[in-house]
Every structure is written in structure tokens, then in C-alpha cells.
Structure 1
Amino acid sequence: MIKFFRKIRQKLLSENKFSKYLLYAVGEIVLVVIGILLALQINNWNQQRIENKQEIEILISINDEFRYNLRELDRSIKINKKVAQSCLELTKLIRLDSISKVPEIVDSLLVNIGDFNSFDARIGVTEEIVNSGKLSILENDEIRNHLGNWLKILADDEEDVLFRSDNYTMNLMPFLMKRFPLSNGELTKKLEFDKNNYLVTYKEKSPFKMNLSTEDLMQFENQVWHHKHNHDYVVINELNIRDFVTTTIKMIEEELNKKK
């Protein structure tokens, strides 16, 4: 093709057709520019196609991760609501002065209030996308902003989880260990993850009895309340996180449907 154009130019020059040569030269430049623009446009189309494919893959991966987190949240919320309910039932028994009358129920409730759960979010995909800058590939501004807040929300929740755990370990447990035969909880304990019954537990009750004075009863109520108070923050956080997760899933799936 280049050889063909060269011959035309040489012919026009040899025939002293300078005006036609200039016109031809301009036309050739225009053709070259058009060719460059077409090449750039084709390259842009290919690049856009690659980014669209990457975006869909990213959205699918994030959606899978958030759906996993939704299942884990539902499990954690269910467990933690049981803990809060057990705190309420213990408080009721304390106020009725019935603690010593139903020791088996108390043993079970003491196990329950210590069986709190912490939501352990799966963040590998989202963290990698945020830290690598791939978040910019997503066209939807709302989804980008949503995902940008995700890790901060989890960090805020972690503070309340740690506070609850520290209070239970350093305050409530020392109080209980001085006044209750906690080993009786072994008779009712069932760990959720022990699906094959590998757990070996005590078979007999402790020979020791619970021992609470009137002053202890008030302190017991306060300890249970404080545990529930700290625990409530975790429960509310998880419910709010669940709303965030379900909203994110809805946004992502709507975006994926647009791109089909």
C-alpha cells in the first residue's frame, strides 16, 4: 500500500502537477489521521471490553463474599440473641429471689450467657480490590462508596466485640467463679461445632452449692446487666451490618442485571 502511494506521488511530481500533488498529500494525511483515529477507537473498544469483563468478575466475587458474610451474620445474630434472652431470664430469677430454687436452670443460663459469638467477616476479596485500586473499575459510584466504608464498619464493630469479651473475662467470670459451681454447666453444654459429639463432659454435679448473700444478689444483677449492656452493642452492630450487607448485595445484583 505504501509503495502504491509513493508511485502516485512520483507520477504527479514528474508531470509537474504540483497543485494536484498538494491536494493528494493532504488527502493522504487525512487518510493517515483517520487510520490512527480508527486504531485508537478500536483499542479503546478493546480496553473497554476488557474492563467491562473485569468489572463483572469483580462484582460476582464481591457478591459471593457478601452472601457468605450474610449467612455468617444470621448465624451470629441468632446465637447472640439467645445470650441476651438468657441475661433477661437470669435477671428475672434474681429479682424473684429464685436463684437457689432452680439451680439446674441457673446452670444452663450461665452457660448460655457465656456462649456469645463474634461475627468473623470474610474480607479477602473486598480488601484486595480496595487496596489494589481496582475499586475504580466499578462504574457505579454508590457501590464504590459502599465498599469503601465496609472495612471501617467492621473495625468499629471489633471495638465493641473486644470490650464485651474483656468485661466478661475480667469482671463477670471472677464474680461467678467465687459463688457458683460453674462445672455444672458441663451437664447442659453442647458446642454447635461439635457435630460428631467428640466433646467429653462431666457426668456428675459438683458437690459445691451456690452461695450468694443479699449484697451478692444485687451485684449479680449488676454484673448480668453490664454484660448484657455490652453485648447489646454487638447485637445492634450486627443487625446494622446485616442491613449494610443486604443493601450491598441488592445493589450489586441490580448492577449485574444491567450488564447482562
Structure 2
Amino acid sequence: MILRRVIEHVKTQNWVAVFLDFVIVVVGILIAFQINAWSARQAEKQSLHVALERLRDEIQLNIGVIDENSKLHDDIAAAGHELLDAIRDPELDEIPMVLIGTVFAEGFTSDYSTGALTYVLNQQPFHNTENGDLRRIITTLPAQYLDALEDERVTIQLLDRQWVPYISQYLPVETFWNLVNEKRDRAGSFQSEDGATIQDVVSLDEFKQLASTLRFQNEIVNRIGYQDLIVIEQRELRKVLGQALALIEEELE
């Protein structure tokens, strides 16, 4: 319709009308571009908000994991301190099997969910956001998770390569672990003879001699130190996750 009007105005040499028609066409095109750009920005904003909502839920889940696992790591460190006190007690009258099992053989790594974080980081609208604080802190989260996991992984390696092999030289693993599990009201992990006791394979005096060695006590101290490092890293991660959570909530308002 506009084109037909332009042709008619050209035929009548009505140049003012031609100019006005041209202006109308240009303005219409500009408005269309603006509408498309606005619609695209709104779509990107909505997509980012959905991604941030998922990330918020994921962070809340991981904070819960930290709160639960930090206590477990603290419990292992506490068992180490309790074991040191026990072996230094001249009136020690039994082998502290559960404490030994906790210190020399227990360990785990935390299972953090990071799928939503990866999704957000792969979104271009996130990198274009004007909220620089939000962008910076979320970008650091992958490294923060790795830092928190590093000491846990090192501890697992030490358990496999050092602590379990060391204690197994002196306390036969089958009998020892069946008795530890019995103390904890769990099913035994190994088969052993009925009625076997730790005294059947190592006497209290033999254990006291082992416990008096510098190596035995140093291994306990080392385990306590690693547990303390793990808890420090987890607390730092929790702090950063809390900051990220607050910024996400602010962005979603």
C-alpha cells in the first residue's frame, strides 16, 4: 500500500508527499527493529532468570551437603583427638577399635551438584548481564568447588596408600573390621571365625606398644590436620555460595 502511494506521488511529482512516505517507511522499519530487539532482550532475560532459579536451588542443595558433611569431617577429627587421649592414658584397658577404624580407614568425598552452574556459565545472556558482582562470583564457583574437593581427594588417596595399609600390618583387617562394625551395630564386611576377638590376633600390651610409637601418633595427628583443612575449605566454599545466593536472589527480584 505504501509502495502504491509512493508511485502515485512520484507520478504527480508531489515530492513532499514522497518524502513523508519515505520517512514513514524508515520510522516503521526502525520501530520494527526496536520491537524485535526488545523482544529478544526480554526472551534472554527470562531465559537467564530460569537458569538462575535452577542455580539458586542447586546452591541451596550444596549448602545442605556442606552442612552435613562438615559435621562428619569434624567427627573424624574429634575421633583423632579422642584416640590420642585414649592411647596416652596409662589406664587404657581395651583397644579403641571404633576410634582406630574412624581415624585410619574412614573417608569420603562430597557430592556437589554443578549441572545448573555449568548451564548458566554457558549462557551468553549471563556474560552480558550488567550485574558485575553476580557475574564475577558465579564465574569463580567452579574453582571454589575444586578447591573444596582437593583436600578430600588427597585424604582418600592417603587412606588407600598409607593409613589403611599401615594399620593393617598390625591389626588384621578381617577380624578388625568385623569387630568395628559389630560395635557400630552394622553387618560385618568380612567373614571371620565366630567369636573372634581383636585379642585373638593382637594383645592389649602389643597394641599399647604400637600406640606408643611416634609413627602411630604422627599418623593420627596428620589425619586430624587433613580433616581440619577439609573443614576450613568447606566453610570458605559455604561462605562464597551464600554470597552468590544473595546476589541471585537480588537479581531475581
TM-score, length-scaled by structure 2: 0.84
Identity of aligned residues (%): 20
CA spacing shift, 1:190–1:132, aligned 2, 3 Å: farther
Tell me how large the CA RMSD over aligned residues is: 2.3
- Which residue of structure 2 lines up, in the alignment, with residue 101 of structure 1? 93
| Structure 2: distance between partners of 1:188 and 1:109 | 11
Q: How does 1:82-161 map to 2 (within 5 A)?
A: 82-98=75-91, 100-103=92-95, 106-113=96-103, 114-131=105-122, 133=124, 135-161=126-152
1:9 aligns with 2:5: no
Report Cα offsets for 1:56-106 as digits up to 9, x if no partner: 1011011111111111111111111100110111111122245x5132xx1
Work out whether residues 70 and 231 of structure 2, in 8 Å CA contact, stay in contact via their aligned partners in 1. yes
| Structure 1: distance between partners of 2:49 and 2:141 | 20
Instruction: After TM superposition, give the deviation of residue 112 of structure 1 in Å.
Output: 2.5
Q: How does 1:218-257 map to 2 (within 5 A)?
A: 218-257=214-253
1:185 aligns with 2:180: yes
| Structure 2: distance between partners of 1:214 and 1:129 | 54
CA spacing shift, 1:147–1:190, aligned 2, 3 Å: farther
Q: Which stretch has the larger CA shift, 131-140 or 74-83? A: 131-140
| Structure 2: distance between partners of 1:70 and 1:214 | 41
| Structure 2: distance between partners of 1:144 and 1:189 | 47
Work out whether residues 146 and 248 of structure 1, in 8 Å CA contact, stay in contact via their aligned partners in 2. yes
Aligned partner letter, 2:152: V
Structure 1 counterpart SS, 2:111: coil
Instruction: After TM superposition, give the deviation of residue 214 of structure 1 in Å.
Output: 6.5
Report Cα offsets for 1:200-219 as digits up to 9, x if no partner: 56774342235232774332
Aligned partner letter, 1:188: K
Q: How does 1:47-62 map to 2 (within 5 A)?
A: 47-62=40-55
| Structure 2: distance between partners of 1:88 and 1:70 | 27
Work out whether residues 74 and 231 of structure 2, in 8 Å CA contact, stay in contact via their aligned partners in 1. yes
| Structure 2: distance between partners of 1:86 and 1:215 | 15
Q: Which stretch has the larger CA shift, 165-174 or 80-89? A: 165-174
Instruction: After TM superposition, give the deviation of residue 122 of structure 1 in Å.
Output: 0.7
Q: Which stretch has the larger CA shift, 181-190 or 161-170? A: 181-190
Structure 2 counterpart SS, 1:179: coil
Aligned partner letter, 1:146: I
Report Cα offsets for 1:191-245 as digits up to 9, x if no partner: 7xxxxxxx45677434223523277433221110011112221111111111111
- Which residue of structure 2 lines up, in the alignment, with residue 28 of structure 1? 21
1:175 aligns with 2:166: yes
Q: Which stretch has the larger CA shift, 115-124 or 206-215? A: 206-215
CA spacing shift, 1:41–1:92, aligned 2, 3 Å: same
Work out whether residues 119 and 238 of structure 1, in 8 Å CA contact, stay in contact via their aligned partners in 2. no
Instruction: After TM superposition, give the deviation of residue 134 of structure 1 in Å.
Output: 5.1
CA spacing shift, 1:34–1:215, aligned 2, 3 Å: closer
CA spacing shift, 1:190–1:229, aligned 2, 3 Å: farther
Alignment equivalent of 2:36, drawn from 35, 43, 48: 43
- Which residue of structure 1 lines up, in the alignment, with residue 74 of structure 2? 81
- For these two proteins, the number of residue pairs brought into alignment is 239
| Structure 2: distance between partners of 1:218 and 1:65 | 45
| Structure 2: distance between partners of 1:176 and 1:112 | 12
